[in-house]
């Protein structure tokens, strides 16, 4: 006969094992990590030798999970767990931290370079194809590491530091490795302060729109303007759109910023001659939101701007985040007369494929080619080829970044239809843009074409 006293401890052991184990992968969970880490801190209390914890996040896992289904996603997570368990150093612990994130406790990794070396090794292991039976998929992974005691003395502090480092990696792109430092923490703090200032500026309607002219190269007359965001904060001063626009996209309020700017731009365009178009940039986040077309049309309808005067610029990179949703948005907008331009053409990895798969009205040649068109024969041939191809596809062409007369003359000789850049005018506020129109459009004074206010 079995004594009840023998059963209870075994049951408690089983329950504890279940509480500390991820049921999908069989790895430990965050409770296991906490236990191991606290034990290590206690063990080294008298001689606090450094150790490292890390967090890995699978880049692009959600789209794969959505596309192939949760079962395929589970298969990938199990394969990730198997690979990590097989390759982590002796004495280390790997657990499934949360969703598509895995964490590591590395007792024998004492400093930044060693952590980066471990991260590089794990990144390569995780980049190999994943077998889903009838198909293979590839993923990358981003990493954040924190070293005890420099990045924190407790489990909570170390996890927070590792998450901060991981967030920095994700901001830098896919497959990045970051080890927490005071400098990174300070940069993140500044970004948060900037975020709050920008949110307040949007609410107060303090982010402005400037306009850069786009001209017909045959006649040197303005045919439209591109709207560009500008922000001057009372405390921070001028903040570059290259800083605050990506920040708004990262922190999830690009829609609010974009909608405020589009409203301002459309209202300004109402005072222009009706032949002039307004060009406006869409972000990658907007091209992933199925409600984008509805939101844009609602704003334009409220302002009263003719939809045929609106042109939206999108980049190839932005399209490829969620091609199916982007295609749907583009189709909905073109169906009501909005024109779509492919911006920064030539800088993506498969631009020709995008011209085949998507329907555009216009292509904008990236300034990287235009700036070398008079000094580099390869750039000239590339621009000429783009123009010829677009003519064959019945697409309009705009050359960006025209800085001087020689570049403008060369583009004219190659048959480029439109251009923009400092030679034709720098971005200016709504009032200055209106004066520019009066001087350059109504008076058609081609002799002063490069002297915008």
pLDDT means per 10 residues in the chain (453 residues)?
A: 47 73 93 94 84 94 85 94 94 94 95 95 94 88 95 92 92 89 86 93 95 94 96 93 90 92 97 96 91 95 96 86 86 95 72 68 91 89 91 92 94 95 95 89 46 39
C-alpha–C-alpha distance, residues 435 and 170, integer Å: 44
Q: What's residue 8's pLDDT?
A: 46
The DSSP 8-state label assigned to residue 320 in this structure reads T
Sign, CA dihedral 31-34-38-44, equals positive
Q: What's residue 356's pLDDT?
A: 66
Sign, CA dihedral 348-350-352-353, equals negative
CATH T-level fold of 13-180: Alpha-Beta Plaits (3.30.70)
C-alpha–C-alpha distance, residues 64 and 85, integer Å: 23
What predicted TM-score, i.e. pTM, was given to this entire model? 0.71
Check: CB of residue 54 under 8 Å from CB of residue 146.
yes
116-to-120, 142, 260 alpha-carbon distances in Å: 6, 12, 42
Structure token pair of residue 292: 């984008």
Q: What's residue 7's pLDDT?
A: 47
Q: What's residue 13's pLDDT?
A: 66
Q: What's residue 355's pLDDT?
A: 67
Q: Taking the CB of residue 447, how many other CB atoms lie within 10 A of it?
A: 7
User: Where do the domains of the chain lie?
Assistant: 13-180, 191-448
Examine domains 13-180 and 191-448 and report if their fold is the same. no
Q: What's residue 452's pLDDT?
A: 40
How are beta strands 51-59 and 310-315 bridged, if at all? unpaired
Q: What's residue 441's pLDDT?
A: 57
Closest CA to 403 of 418, 428, 424: 424
Domain 191-448 has CATH 3.20.20.450: yes
Check: CB of residue 278 under 8 Å from CB of residue 311.
yes
């Amino acid at each position: 006969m079995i004594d009840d006293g023998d059963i209870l401890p075994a049951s408690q052991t089983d329950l504890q094992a279940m509480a500390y184990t991820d049921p999908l992968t069989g790895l430990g969970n965050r409770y296991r990590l906490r236990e191991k880490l606290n034990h290590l801190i206690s063990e080294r209390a008298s001689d606090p030798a450094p150790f490292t914890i890390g967090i890995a996040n699978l880049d692009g896992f959600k789209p794969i999970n959505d596309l192939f289904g949760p079962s395929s996603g589970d298969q990938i997570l199990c394969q990730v767990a198997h690979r990590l368990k097989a390759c982590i150093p002796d004495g280390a612990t790997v657990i499934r931290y949360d969703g598509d994130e895995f964490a590591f406790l590395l007792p024998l990794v004492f400093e930044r370079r060693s952590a980066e070396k471990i991260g590089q090794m794990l990144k390569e292991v995780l980049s190999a194809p994943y077998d889903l039976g009838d198909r293979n998929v590839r993923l990358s992974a981003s990493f954040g590491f924190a070293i005890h005691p420099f990045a924190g003395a407790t489990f909570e502090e170390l996890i927070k530091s590792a998450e901060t480092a991981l967030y920095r990696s994700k901001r830098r792109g896919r497959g990045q490795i970051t080890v927490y430092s005071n400098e990174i923490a300070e940069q993140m703090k500044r970004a948060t302060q900037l975020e709050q200032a920008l949110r307040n500026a949007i609410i107060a309607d303090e982010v402005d729109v400037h306009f850069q002219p786009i001209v017909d190269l045959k006649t040197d007359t303005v045919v439209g303007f591109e709207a560009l965001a500008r922000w001057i904060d009372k405390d921070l001063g001028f903040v570059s759109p290259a800083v605050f626009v990506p920040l708004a996209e990262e922190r999830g309020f690009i829609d609010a910023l974009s909608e405020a700017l589009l409203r301002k731009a459309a209202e300004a365009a109402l005072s222009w001659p009706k032949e002039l178009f307004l060009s406006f940039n869409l972000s990658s986040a907007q091209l992933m939101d199925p409600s984008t077309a509805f939101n844009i049309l609602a704003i334009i309808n409220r302002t009263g701007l003719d939809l045929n005067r609106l042109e939206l610029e999108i980049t190839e990179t932005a399209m490829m985040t969620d091609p199916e949703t982007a295609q749907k948005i583009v189709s909905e907008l073109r169906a009501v007369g909005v024109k779509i331009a492919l911006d920064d053409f030539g800088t993506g990895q498969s631009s020709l494929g995008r011209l085949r798969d998507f329907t555009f009205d216009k292509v904008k040649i990236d300034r990287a080619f235009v700036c070398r068109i008079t000094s580099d024969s390869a750039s000239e041939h590339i621009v000429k080829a783009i123009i010829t191809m677009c003519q064959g596809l019945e697409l309009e062409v705009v050359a960006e970044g025209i800085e001087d007369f020689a570049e403008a003359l060369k583009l004219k000789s190659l048959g480029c239809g439109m251009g923009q850049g400092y030679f034709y005018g720098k971005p200016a506020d709504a009032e200055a843009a209106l004066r520019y129109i009066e001087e350059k459009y109504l008076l058609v004074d081609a002799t002063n074409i490069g002297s915008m206010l």
